[in-house]
Each structure stands twice: as structure tokens, then as C-alpha cells.
Structure 1
């Protein structure tokens, strides 16, 4: 009897032992498919799957590509004091906001876009707990997409480059990767550049003008699949689609992939890796570097097409626990490992 009473007292005295660890993610995109594509929806889906595997309490708030709203959501999340706050430094707007806020005790983990090294140092010097980050190697993305397009081209490449924005590190690095590939390739020229804010609608309007007035353009390099679709709509309207190769970054669903000549992706999976890393940080399994840049990109193929279909069906057969350092033989996080973890019956 005394043992039972003692055990009950312990339960009330140690509630944190049984409470789920609480994570908030401020998603800069939309909760569903829109003119910028389904990328941020897919990121959230994979993060939810990973959080379930680790029994984490994950809350996701959407800024709907509105950076004023994103700042408001960040401020509210900090007041909620989760065990970890996952942020995306889209358009590099968060450093100044975080520096302006007082009494930030919540550890912050950056996903897909993080502040520069100098900005991270300023945040740390300000007393903000930067737990870590994971970003893709976006130079690899820009370079790989260009190379795959050049492999298919049977002629000199006169490129229309459609980037996402002027300030986000991901956009700038993708463009740098493109430029490096063009410099290394004898028969390629960037004929025109534009920015379409990741939007199919804006890409359509801008592409219509370029294709109407610069007839020598025969290749489109687009920083995401939505903008590639916008360019394709313009080409279709002008009856020029067959004359222009179109490539994009992001793994789209089959109905979109079949419209685009070359697609590369993989970075959509890094939200799940962020959850793995956050779990390891919160439970003292983390080893090695705080900040990770992952060369995750690969060309879209039949297996990755089916993986994207699974993400949308909410029926993903991946055990993300195998990537945690809680395992002595943790698997490296890669596209190849993810596909191996999906059961044969699912793919």
C-alpha cells in the first residue's frame, strides 16, 4: 500500500517525465497547393510523419507567404515557450526581428533557409539559443538542374532563368549554381533573367513577354516547379512549347512532372531530418556539427514520383527513427536511404 502511495506521489511530482516534447514550426508557405506549388504542404506532411515516429507534439502555423504574418507567428510562438521552435529564414527577415525581441529562452532551429554566419553570431551574442540548422546545398541544385538540361539539349542553350526572389539564400545559391554551370559549358548563355516570387502566375506573365520578344530562348531554368508551369503556359499560348526545354527544382506529382522536361529535388525531405535532429538535441543524442548543409538533390524518377504520391496520400511507410543517433547504427539521411526504408509493397 505504501509503495502504491509513493508511486502516485512520484507521478504528480514528475509530470515532465510523461509529457510530450513540444515543437512549433512556422511554415512560411501554405497549408495546401497554391500558385507557388505544394512544396511547403509536403514539408509539413513529412515533418508530421517524423514527429509521430518520435512521439513529439508538433504544432504547425502557416504564414501563407506573408512575411508580416510570419513575424507575428514567430512572436506568438516565442511567448508559448515550446521545447523547440523551428523557423525558416525566408527572404532573410528574421534576424532583425529576433534581435528586437526580449527574453527569448526558447531554443531555435533553422530549416531550409538560415541566417548568414555573421547573423548567427549576432543572434548568439544577443543571448539567443541557436540549437542548429539544416539546409540543402542549393548551389548543387542550380548546377545539377543546368547540367541535366544541357545533357538533353541538342543545340546551343539560350537560357531564360526564372528565380524565386532577390534575397533568400536558397534563391541566390541556386542562381550561383546555374552561373557556374554556364561558365563551364561552352554552348550556354543566360539570355534573360527574371524573378517571379515562386509563383506560376507571375512566371507566366513574365515569360510571355520574354518569349514574345526574344525568339532565340530555347531553355528555361526555373527555381521551382510552379514557375516552370507558368513558363510552360506561356509557351503553350505562343505555340512554342516544342522548341524550348524546361527544367525545375522540386519533385512534383506525376501530373506536373510529365509536363516538365527535367525536374530535380529532394530538399522537401529535410523537414523530416530537422525533426530527427531536434529529437536528438532534446534527448542528448546529438553529435557532431550544429549546422548541416546537405547535398540532397537528385533527378526525379519513378521511385521518387511514387514517394511524392505517398506524401500526398498521407500513407508514408518510412520509419524515421532509423536516422536518429539514438541508434548505434543510425542510417545516413539521404534519398537512397529514404527509398530503401519505404516498403517494397508501397513502391
Structure 2
């Protein structure tokens, strides 16, 4: 009887022992598909699946591409004091916000866009606990997409580059990868380039102008699939689609993928990888570097198409625990490993 009473008292006195570890993710995008595509929705879906596998309490807030709203959400999340806060440092706006605040005790993990090395040092010197980060190798993405498109062009490759923005590391690195590819191909030239803010509508409007005034364009390199679809709409309207190869970064759903000649993706999975790392960090399983840059990109194929369909149907069956350092034989986190795990159950 006394043992039972003592145990009951312990339960009330130490509730945190049995509480789930809490994670808040400030998603800079939308909760559903919109003019910038479904990428951020897909990131969240995979993260939810990984959180279930690790029994983590994951809360996701959406900034809807509004940096003012994103800052507000970050401030609220810091007051909630989760075990880990996941941030996407688009255009370095969050770095400046964090440096303006005092007494931040919550560990922070950066996903997909992280501060520069100098900015990270400033944050650490400011007393902020930077737990780690994971970003894709966006130069690899930009170069791989350009290489695949140029390979499909028998004559001179006159490229129209549509980038997402002027400032994020992801956009700048993708453009750098494009430039590296062009330097290695004697027949390739960047004939024109623009920024369409990741938007189908803006890419369509700009495409109409460029395709009308620069008829030599025969390749469209787009930094995401939404902008590629906008460019294709403009080509269709001008009756020029058959003369231009179009490529994009992101793995779209089949109905979109069938309209684009080349698609490169894989970085949509890195939110799940962040949760694997965070689980290991919180539970003292982590080994190796804090910060990761992943050469995760590969060309869209039938298997990855089915994987994206599973993400949208909320029917994903990947066991993300096999990537944790706590697993007896942890697998390397890669597209190949993810497809292998998915194949075991459904693909």
C-alpha cells in the first residue's frame, strides 16, 4: 500500500518524466498547395510521420510566406519553451531577430536554410544554443538539373533561368550550380535570367515577355516546379512548348511531373532527417557533426513518383527509426534508403 502511494506521489511530482519531448517547427510556407507549389506541405507531412515513429510531440505553425508573420510565430514559440525549435532562416531574417532577443534558452535547429558560418558564430556568441542544422547541397541540384537539360539538347543550349529569389542561400546556390554546369558545356549559354519568387503566376507573366522577345531560348531552368509550370503555361500560350525543354527542382506529383521534361528533388525529405537528428540529440545518441549538408538530389522516377503520392495520401509507411543512431544497424539517410524502406511496405 505504501509503495503504491509513493509511486502515485511520484507520478504527480515528476510529470515531465513521462511527457513527450516537444518540438515546434515554424514552416515558412503554406499548410496546403498554392502558387508556390506543395513543397512545404510535403515537408510537414514527412515530419509528422517521423515524429510518430519517435513518439515526439510535433507542433507545426505556418507563416504563409510572410516574414513578419514568421517572426511573430518564432517569438511565440520561444515563449512556449519547447525541447527544440526548428527554424528555416529564409533571407537571414531570423538571424537578425534572434540576435535582437535576450535570454533564449530553447535549443534551435535550422532546416533547409541556415545562417552563414559568420552568422552562426554571432548567434552562439549571443548565448543561443544552436543544436544543429541540415541543408541540401543546392549547388548539386542546380548543376544536376542543368546537366540533364543540356544533355537533351543536340544543338546550342540557350537557357532561360528562373530563380526563386535574390537572397536565400538555396536560391543563390542553385544558380551557382547552374553556372558551374554551363562552364563545363561549350554549347551552353545563359541567355536570360529572372526571379519569380517561387510563384507559378509570376513565372507565367515573365515567361510571356522573355519567350516573345528572345526566340532563341530552348531550355528553361526553373528553381522549383511551380515556376516551371508557369513557364510552360506561357510557352503553351505562345505555341512554343514543343521547341523548349523545361526542367525544375522539386519532386512534383504525377499530374505535374508529366508536364515537365526533367525534375530533380529529394530535399523534401530533410525535415524528417532533422527529426531523426533531433531525436538522437535529445536522447544522447548523436555522434558526428552538428551541421549537415546533404547531396540528396536525384532525378524523379517511377519510384519517387509513388513516394510523393504516398506523402499526399497520408499513407507513408517508412520506419524512420532505422536512421537513428539508437538503431542496432542504422541506415544512412539517402533517397535510396528511403525508397528501400518504403518498398518493404507499399511501393
Instruction: Report TM bin, short chain.
Output: over 0.9
Q: Equivalent residues in 2 for 1:83-122 (5 A)?
A: 83-122=83-122
Q: Tell me, in whole angstroms, the C-alpha distance in 2 between the residues paired with 1:30 and 1:227.
A: 16
2:317·2:345 contact (CA, 8 Å) conserved in 1? no
Q: How big is the shift at 1:331? A: 0.5
Are 2:126 and 1:139 aligned? no
Q: How big is the shift at 1:328? A: 3.0
Q: Match for residue 182 of structure 1?
A: 182
Are 2:50 and 1:50 aligned? yes
Closer, same or farther: CA 343–277 of 1 in aligned 2, 3 Å: same
Q: Match for residue 321 of structure 1?
A: 321
Runs ≥4 residues deviating over 6 A = none
Are 2:198 and 1:202 aligned? no
Q: How big is the shift at 1:304? A: 0.0
Q: Tell me, in whole angstroms, the C-alpha distance in 2 between the residues paired with 1:306 and 1:11.
A: 45
Partner deviation per Cα, 1:124-148 (whole Å, 9 max, x = no partner): 0000000000000000000000111
Q: Match for residue 292 of structure 1?
A: 292
Q: Tell me, in whole angstroms, the C-alpha distance in 2 between the residues paired with 1:237 and 1:343.
A: 40
Instruction: Please give the secondary structure, in 2, of the residue aligned with 1:284.
Output: coil
Are 2:175 and 1:161 aligned? no
Q: Match for residue 275 of structure 2?
A: 275
TM-score (norm 1): 0.99
Q: Tell me, in whole angstroms, the C-alpha distance in 2 between the residues paired with 1:155 and 1:281.
A: 51
Q: How big is the shift at 1:338? A: 0.3
Q: Tell me, in whole angstroms, the C-alpha distance in 2 between the residues paired with 1:14 and 1:328.
A: 30
Q: Equivalent residues in 2 for 1:303-318 (5 A)?
A: 303-318=303-318
Instruction: Please give the secondary structure, in 1, of the residue aligned with 2:274.
Output: helix
Q: How many residues align?
A: 347
Listed as ranges, the gaps of 5+ residues in structure 2 are none
Q: How big is the shift at 1:50? A: 0.2
Listed as ranges, the gaps of 5+ residues in structure 1 are none
Q: Tell me, in whole angstroms, the C-alpha distance in 2 between the residues paired with 1:219 and 1:258.
A: 17
Are 2:14 and 1:22 aligned? no
Q: Tell me, in whole angstroms, the C-alpha distance in 1 between the residues paired with 2:345 and 2:4.
A: 48
Q: Match for residue 64 of structure 2?
A: 64
Q: Tell me, in whole angstroms, the C-alpha distance in 2 between the residues paired with 1:253 and 1:155.
A: 31
Q: How big is the shift at 1:345? A: 5.4
Partner deviation per Cα, 1:124-183 (whole Å, 9 max, x = no partner): 000000000000000000000011111211211000000000000000000000000000
Q: Match for residue 259 of structure 1?
A: 259
Instruction: Please give the secondary structure, in 2, of the residue aligned with 1:317.
Output: coil
Q: Tell me, in whole angstroms, the C-alpha distance in 2 between the residues paired with 1:25 and 1:12.
A: 29
Q: Tell me, in whole angstroms, the C-alpha distance in 2 between the residues paired with 1:49 and 1:297.
A: 21
Q: How big is the shift at 1:93? A: 1.0
Q: Tell me, in whole angstroms, the C-alpha distance in 1 between the residues paired with 2:174 and 2:12.
A: 53
Q: Tell me, in whole angstroms, the C-alpha distance in 2 between the residues paired with 1:192 and 1:75.
A: 40
Q: Tell me, in whole angstroms, the C-alpha distance in 1 between the residues paired with 2:180 and 2:92.
A: 24
Partner deviation per Cα, 1:183-210 (whole Å, 9 max, x = no partner): 0001000000100000000000011100
Q: How big is the shift at 1:17? A: 1.2
Provide the aligned C-alpha RMSD in A.
Answer: 0.7
Q: Tell me, in whole angstroms, the C-alpha distance in 1 between the residues paired with 2:62 and 2:3.
A: 48
Q: Tell me, in whole angstroms, the C-alpha distance in 1 between the residues paired with 2:344 and 2:206.
A: 43
